[in-house]
Structure 1
Amino acid sequence: MAKGYKEMLAEAEAVVQSVDTAEMASQPADVVMVDVRDPRELERDGMIPDAMHAPRGMLEFWIDPESPYHKPAFAEDRTFVFYCASGWRSLLAAKVAQEMGLNAKSMRGGFSEWKRAGFPVAEKKKREA
C-alpha cells in the first residue's frame, strides 16, 4: 500500500531538524529563509522579509544544478530554512532538499505562527499579466 501523508511527515520529522519561529526572527546571516507556499498565498498573506520564494512544485528542479531551472542561490554553502503556512509542506520540502545535499531545516509552525507572534511581514506584489 502507498504511504499516506502522515507516514511521510513522520519520516521527515525523524531526519529533518526543525527550528522555532522565535529562533528565526533574528534572521541569522548564514540562513536563507525559503517560502514554499503557492504564489497566491504570498500575494494574499505576505511573506517573511528577505525570504526567497521557491514554489514547492519547482523545488527539486531549482535545487539540482543539472536542471535547466536551477537557481544559483541553492548552490551557496548556507543553511536553508523552509517554511509554508503551517509546517507540513516545508517539512517535506526540507527532507527533499536534505536528500539533494543541502543543509536544510524546517520552521515549526510555519508562516501562520510567524504572523501570530507578531514578527515582520513583507507584502508580495502580484505579478503583472
Structure 2
Amino acid sequence: MEEMKEITTDELKNKLDAGEKLELVDVREDDEVAKGMIPGAKHIRMGTIPENLDSFDKDKEYIMICRSGNRSGQVCHYMQEQGYKVRNMVGGMLDWSGETK
C-alpha cells in the first residue's frame, strides 16, 4: 500500500503564512468545528466523505484535518485508495497554534 503523506501543523502554518493556496478539509463533527477551524478549511464530516467524493478533484492535493490526526488519517487512507491525493495533518487541531475562526 502506498505510504500516507503527512504534514505537520508548523509546516502547514508556514505555507499558509506564505500565502500558499491549499485545499484544507476538516473532518470533525459539527460541535468540534464550532470551537474553531483553520481559516479557509472546508468542513466535511468524516462520516459523509464517501458521499462527497465527487466534490473532490483528483488533480488537487487535500490536507485532511481532525482533532488529533487519527480520524483524518483514516480518511486519507480511504481517499488514497479511491485515487485522491491527500495529506494528513499530524497532531490535528490539538497541535495547531495558528489562527482559528
Q: TM-score, normalised by structure 2?
A: 0.88
- Determine if the alignment matches structure 1 residue 53 to structure 2 residue 50: no
Deviation, 1:77, is 2.0
The one of 10, 35, 38 equivalent to 2:29 is 38
Matches within 5 A, 1:45-124: 45-63=35-53, 65=54, 71=55, 74-75=56-57, 77-114=59-96, 117=97, 119-122=98-101
Residue ranges of structure 2 left out of the alignment (5+ in a row): none
Distance 2:74 2:3 in 1: 10
Distance 2:86 2:57 in 1: 12
Give the AA of the match of 1:18: E
Deviation, 1:41, is 0.6
Runs of at least 4 residues off by over 2 Å: none
Q: Deviations over 1:42-71 (max 9, x none)?
A: 11x2100000111000101101x3xxxxx2
Higher relative strand content: 2
Give the AA of the match of 2:100: V
Distance 1:76 1:102 in 2: 5
The 8 Å contact of residues 58 and 84 in structure 2, kept in 1 or not, is answered as no
Q: Please report the RMSD computed on the Cα atoms of aligned residues, expressed in angstroms.
A: 1.6
Distance 1:99 1:52 in 2: 21
Deviation, 1:76, is 5.6
Give the AA of the match of 2:6: S
Secondary structure of 2:95's partner?
Answer: helix
The 8 Å contact of residues 58 and 85 in structure 2, kept in 1 or not, is answered as no
Please say which structure displays the higher CA radius of gyration: 1
The 8 Å contact of residues 58 and 83 in structure 2, kept in 1 or not, is answered as no
